[in-house]
Amino acid sequence: MDKHIQPKLFGLDHLRALAIILVFLFHYFILSGGQPTWLPDLAKFGWTGVDLFFVLSGFLISSQLFAQIKQGQKISFKNFFLKRLFRIVPAFLVTIGLYYFFPFFREKERLPPLWKFLTFTQILGLNLKDFGTFSHAWSLCVEEHFYLVLPLILILLQLTNTLKKSYGLLIALLLFGFAVRIYSFNQFYLPNAEDENSWLYWYKYIYYPTYNRLDGLLVGVSIAAVNQFLPAFWIKLSKYGNLCIVLSLVILTGAYFLCYDPMTFNASVYGFPLIAIGYGFLVVSAISPSSFLFKWNSKITTSLATLSYAIYLTHKGVIHMTHTLLSDFNIESNILLLICMLTCIGFAYILHLLVEKPFMKLREGVLQNSKYPKC
C-alpha cells in the first residue's frame, strides 16, 4: 500500500485499484449481512486483496532498496524509516482518532487497547470477537514489521558482503512459512476445531501472525531481485507479460477452490503461497512492457490507487456510518452498495487531501538535502 516507483508504471496502479476493490467488497458483504444476494460468491475471495497489497509492497519497497545497492550506495535505515513514517503514520493516526473519539464511526463495539495500535502489535493475540473493531489494521502491523526487518537484513548482507547468497535466505523464509503454519494449525487450531468459536483460533493463530503471512512479501521481494539483479533473465521474462496474466488467473482460480473453506489444513498451509504466486505473476505482467496492463493508462485506476491507502483505513467505518444513516430509507441493496462506494471514495479523498498530501510534501522538505532517492 505504497506509492509506485515511477509514474509510468500504470500497471501497478491497476493492481492497487484491484486490491482495494477486492478488500472493499469482502468487508462490505460481511457488514451488509450478505447483501446484495449476488455479492457473497463474488466477494468471498476478496480477502486476498490484502495478499495482493503484500506482493506489491514487497516489490515496491525492496526495489527501492535494491536500486541503491545496485548503485553501490549504503542503505540509510534512518532515511528509509522516515519515508515510511511520513507515508503510513499520519493517516493511520487520524483514523485511530476517529475510532477512539467518535464511537459512531466504529463498525463493531469494542476496540483493542490503544497501545497495540500505536506499537503495531495489534495482531498479537487479537480477539476478533470481542475486540474486532478496526481489525483490518492487522495488515499494517505485518507491513510495518516488514519495513523494520528488511532494511536491517540488507544492511547486514551489505556489511558481510553476502548479498549474492541471499537467495538462500528467501528460500529458507518461504520454507519457514510452511513449517510454522503446519505447526500452528496442528497445535493451536486443530485442538479447538470443534469449538463453536473455532474460527477465532484460526484467525488468531494462522491468519493474522506476521510469521504466517510472509509469502506475499517474499514473492514481491523475489520479483524485485530478478528485475534488479538478473537483467538478462528479466528481459526474456518480460516478453511474456500477457501470458503471465493467464498464468495468474489459472493459479488464482485454483487458489479460489483450495481456499473456499480457508480453515482446512491444505488452505491454511498451501493457500497463502499459492495466492502470493498467483498475484506475483500479475505484478510481473504489470511491469512488463509487453503487457496490456503496462500500456493501459486509466485515470480511474490511477485515482483509486492514489486513494487506496485512505480507503483501506476508513472503508469499514464509512460503510457502517452510511448504513446507519440510511437505515430508515429502505434503499434497494444494489443502490446502497453504490452509495457506500461513493461515500468511501469521498471520505478517503478528504483524508488524502487534508492529511496524506500535506505530509508527503513535508516529507520532501525533510529529505530534500538527503541523497536518498525520493521514490
For the chain, domain boundaries: 47-300+347-367
pLDDT at residue 189 in the model = 96
Mean pLDDT taken over the chain: 92
The angle formed by the CA atoms of residues 355, 356 and 361, to the nearest 5 degrees, is 105
Rounded-to-10 torsion of CA 141, 142, 145, 146:
-140
- Least confident range of 74-83, 227-236, 313-322: 74-83
Q: pLDDT tier at 42 (50, 70, 90 boundaries)? A: confident
Residue 252, C-beta contacts closer than 8 angstroms, at least 6 positions apart? 48, 275, 278, 279
CA distance 301 to 303: 5
Asked whether the predicted pLDDT for residue 375 surpasses 80, the reply is no
For residues 47 and 25, the answer to whether their CB atoms sit within 8 Å is: no
pTM of the model: 0.94
Average pLDDT over residues 107-130: 91
**How crowded is residue 294: how many other Cβ atoms within 10 Å of its Cβ?**
21
The pLDDT of residue 153 is 92
Confidence of residue 3 (pLDDT cuts 50, 70, 90): very low
Cβ neighbour number for residue 124 with a 10 Å cutoff = 14
What cell does 152 get? 536491517
Nearest-5° Cα angle at 135, 311 to 176: 105
pLDDT average, residue stretch 161-177: 89
pLDDT at 8 over 90: no
Q: How many helices (H) and strands (E) does the chain have?
A: 17, 0
> Can the peptide bond before residue 7 be classed as cis, meaning omega within 30 degrees of 0?
no
Report, in this order, helix, strand and coil percent for the chain, each rounded to 5: 75, 0, 25
Range 31-35, long-range pairs (CB < 8 A, 24+ positions): 31/107, 31/316, 31/319, 31/320, 31/323, 32/319, 32/323, 32/333, 32/336, 32/337, 35/333, 35/336, 35/337
For residue 211, pLDDT over 60 is answered with: yes
The yes-or-no verdict on residue 374 having pLDDT over 50 is no
Percent of the chain with pLDDT over 90: 80
Report pLDDT digits (tens) over 286-339.
999 999 999 999 999 999 999 999 999 999 999 999 999 999 999 999 999 999
> How many whole angstroms separate alpha carbon 47 and alpha carbon 65?
28
Percentage, residues of the chain above pLDDT 70:
96
Query: Looking at residue 373, what is its pLDDT?
Result: 47
Burial of 372 (0-12, 13-18, 19+ CB in 10 A): middle
Read off the pLDDT band of 369 (50, 70, 90).
Answer: low
Is residue 23 within 8 Å of 312, Cβ to Cβ? yes
Phi and psi, residue 32, nearest 5° = -95, 5
What Å distances lie between residue 351 and 311, 346, 347, 363, CA to CA? 9, 9, 6, 17
14-28, 104-118, 276-290, 344-358: least confidently modelled range: 104-118
Inter-CA distances, 17 with 53, 122, 193, 314, Å: 10, 26, 36, 16
pLDDT digits (tens, 9 = 90+) for 15-30: 999 999 999 999 999 9
